[in-house]
Structure 1
Amino acid sequence: MNFNTLKQVRQQVYDSFERGADALFNLCDALRCESQARSLPELSYSSFFEREWSSLYQALSNGKINDVALRQIWVKALLARIPESQTVCISVDASSIARPEAETSRDRGIIPVSNLPRAAKPISVGWQYSTVMLLPEVTSSWVGILDQRRIETAQTAIEVAIAQLQALVPLIKHPIIILADRWYATADFLRACKTLGCQVLIRLKRNRKLYRPAVRTSTKGRPPLDGPLFQGSRPDTVGGVEASLMSYDKKGKIVTVNRWSQLHVRQARDVQVRVFGVQREGAKDSPN
């Protein structure tokens, strides 16, 4: 993003602040530039926050942001240089922020915490956020955030992700592929993506149950709704490979990709699923 575009985006962001705009915009600059600040009082001392400390609290309690306009600004800015005919990949995922000592904070819930010592419980208290990101064409740790929302304790990550996609996808004129982790392989999420006209690439748990097309073997009784089981953890169910490709990775190890089509989950028989299985020689118990 060049300097002129950045200035234009900053002005548009400022215009989306409908109440308390000056203090809110100063706070955004302070948050972006003061990486060592640990509290609101410390942010109020930032050289980028040009007002008295009380303005910061007033902005957070009385400020108003036009969420719809802000979402449109970033979608337009992040996709400006990508031709409309080019497919874009967006991902959705939930992340946690632990706040075990913030006893007065609203709507904290139990959240998972990874990479803890074995003796520690892998849970804490805090918030969860759902983030929809524009993935770069070249492998990178930098992504463009298209939308981010708090997952309230009365909601699930799937519900929030669907609401985000329903708001975002109509703003994107490009063909879309949605990438998600295995927790999103649910009937509701798959059906929502189909309704939005998006392709989806989701990791599957090995024990996830899928079903082939139903085959009627008797003229008596109701026709079956599901065909034979397909489950990765049961090798006897994964026969009938539709297509297979073998190649080599950078280390010269054999990589085999198999494909199965016309599968479905029981709760969404109207959504067809295609499964790709990847096998790499020497990959068992390997970190790479």
Structure 2
Amino acid sequence: MGLVEHEVQRDAFTVVAEFRSELYACLTARSDALFELCDALLCTDDPVRTLVDLALDPEHRRGHGALYSGINHGRIDLARLRRALTSVPLPRAGDGRLVLAVDVSPWLRPDADTSSDRSFCHTFGRGLGKHQMAPGWPYSIVAALETGRTSRTALLDAIRLEPGADLAAVTASQVRDVVQRLVDAGQWREGDPEVLVVLDAGYDAPRIAHLLADLPVEVLGRLRSDRVMRKPVPVPWICPPQGGRPPKHGGEFVFGRAESWGEVTAATVTNTDRYGTATAQAWDRLHPRLTRRAAWLDHEGPLPIIEGTVIRLAVEKLPSGGVNKPAWLRWSGTGAGPADVDRCWQAFLRRFDVEHTFRRLKQTLGWTRPKLRDPAAADRWTWLVLAAHAQLRLAHPLARDLRRPWERPAEPNRLTPARVRRGFRNLHAKTGTPAGAPKTHSPRPRTPGRLEEPTARHPLRRRTPPRHRRAYARPAHHKKGTKPRRGSSPASPVHRHDPDDVG
């Protein structure tokens, strides 16, 4: 072992030990039980199947009763834990820029009628048209992305979305808090490159960029392929003979019509090993035409003009062999050059590392395995999983490749978090635990008492719009009191008259 490698390992060991001490200080009630539960989560060999199995590990010195007591009645200082997650070394891009990815991952609870605050979550299925909505707890998670061919991310924050929450407003508030903690921790200073926030197609990227305009951030989001943007008004504007005020919007930029695109502002062609030839084209100063509805209904004053750069990314092939369609991206900055275009689409491809992180949290660390009833208990378990994931990332330089006989040797500094978890028990023996030893006592005698009242149930029902609020006009031959068309059955659902129908 060289001197440089020894210094790196010593610094990493110090960071891990300090984070574990800070984590224990963040646990304000049932701290010993919660801390040992997190250690058992890190030191167990197999993927987590049930929560009670963690009580059988040597690192969890208490019984299963203490485990459930810590989950259901413990307390965590989330403000301090959030500061601890942003104070550790974070991954950065090649230019030293922080790249944050925001995405929602559901904790599905379809049969938990006694669990409150559930909402319908979008789930992806295998195959075309297999997507469906299932009840559960959606969590909005912010992670710092790492450069290079790796799937490691640094999880910084998690918020459970309340039913009916405004996703754009909650995301903007969450990103604002994370960026402020990064500034307070010294992760971003004046003169550093602006923080890049990467979003998927489910977010309103222009609105989020407008809400975060006062922060040193850039918002990069994916757009649907059927969107229509507006070009800026030509300068100088020639007033028509009939007069009138100058328009706010220029011509249309239809994603599906190439003849409406106009001149390309910047274009790059890059040869990649994974996607083949990647061609990116950019158009500057495009904006959506806003109307006073939905989120902009209560906006005070005139509606803003949110300009940005639209990027069209087309690759030669996909690794999965799926349908190869171009991706449309929107960057909140203007005046993009070739370097900015390359940086944006490469950062968007790194966003898919969050999907691997979600799969690791659910399949290996067992994030969504426990059948918890209380959403507050689900929040405590979620933060314990995030703290365990942070320790696996920080302990990466200290791990050894304990591979299975059928696995290939990993390259130096390329161990996956699952392989780091295999050797964490050896690191746990060196760092020790700040948790106190359990107290031995005999079980109390069971006293007879009255039966508990039935638990309240919170069933979910899909809301459907009333029939009299149709968005389209009813044809004349479908109106009430008219005869059906010739050849149609009176019992047909189209012509069946409802006494409550006021169409």
- TM-score bin, normalised by smaller chain: 0.7 to 0.9
Letter in 1 for 2:163: T
* Contact 1:176/1:199 (<8 A) preserved: yes
1:275 counterpart residue number: 310
Shift of 1:282: 6.4
Shift of 1:145: 0.4
* Contact 1:78/1:144 (<8 A) preserved: no
| Partner of residue 68 from structure 1, selected from 68, 79, 82 | 79
Shift of 1:252: 10
2:53 counterpart residue number: 42
* Contact 1:194/1:271 (<8 A) preserved: no
Letter in 2 for 1:67: L
Residues 1:262 and 2:290 are matched in the alignment:
no
Structure with greater Cα Rg: 2
Post-superposition Cα deviations, 1:213-242, rounded to whole Å, max 9, x if no partner, equal 134443633332211111211222211212
RMSD, matched Cα: 3.0
1:110 counterpart residue number: 120
- CA distance 1:143–1:233, shift in 2 (3 Å): same
Residues 1:214 and 2:233 are matched in the alignment:
yes
- CA distance 1:144–1:212, shift in 2 (3 Å): same
Residues 1:181 and 2:200 are matched in the alignment:
yes
Higher relative contact order (CA 8 A, sep 6+): 2
How far apart, CA to CA, are the structure 1 residues paired with 2:275 and 2:107? Answer: 40
Larger CA deviation: 215-224 vs 150-159: 215-224
Residues 1:229 and 2:252 are matched in the alignment:
yes
Shift of 1:108: 1.7
How far apart, CA to CA, are the structure 1 residues paired with 2:224 and 2:165? Answer: 23
* Contact 1:206/1:231 (<8 A) preserved: no
1:202 counterpart residue number: 221
TM-score (norm: length of structure 1): 0.86
2:136 counterpart residue number: 126
* Contact 1:211/1:264 (<8 A) preserved: yes
How far apart, CA to CA, are the structure 1 residues paired with 2:281 and 2:127? Answer: 38
Larger CA deviation: 117-126 vs 208-217: 117-126
Post-superposition Cα deviations, 1:157-215, rounded to whole Å, max 9, x if no partner, equal 33332222111101224331111112223443121232222012222212222211134
* Contact 2:279/2:314 (<8 A) preserved: yes
Letter in 2 for 1:28: C
* Contact 1:91/1:134 (<8 A) preserved: yes
**Aligned to 2:248, what secondary structure does the other structure show?**
coil
Letter in 1 for 2:239: S
Shift of 1:7: 0.9
Structure number having the greater strand percentage? 1
* Percent identical: 26
**1:67-106 alignment runs, 5 A limit:** 67-79=78-90, 86-106=96-116
Query: Gapped runs of 5+ residues in structure 1?
Result: none
How far apart, CA to CA, are the structure 2 residues paired with 1:95 and 1:269? Answer: 31
Letter in 2 for 1:271: I
- CA distance 1:59–1:270, shift in 2 (3 Å): same
How far apart, CA to CA, are the structure 1 residues paired with 2:41 and 2:323? Answer: 41
2:63 counterpart residue number: 52
Moved segments of 4+, more than 6 Å: none
- CA distance 1:191–1:230, shift in 2 (3 Å): same
How far apart, CA to CA, are the structure 2 residues paired with 1:164 and 1:115? Answer: 28
How far apart, CA to CA, are the structure 1 residues paired with 2:109 and 2:285? Answer: 45
How far apart, CA to CA, are the structure 2 residues paired with 1:157 and 1:56? Answer: 34
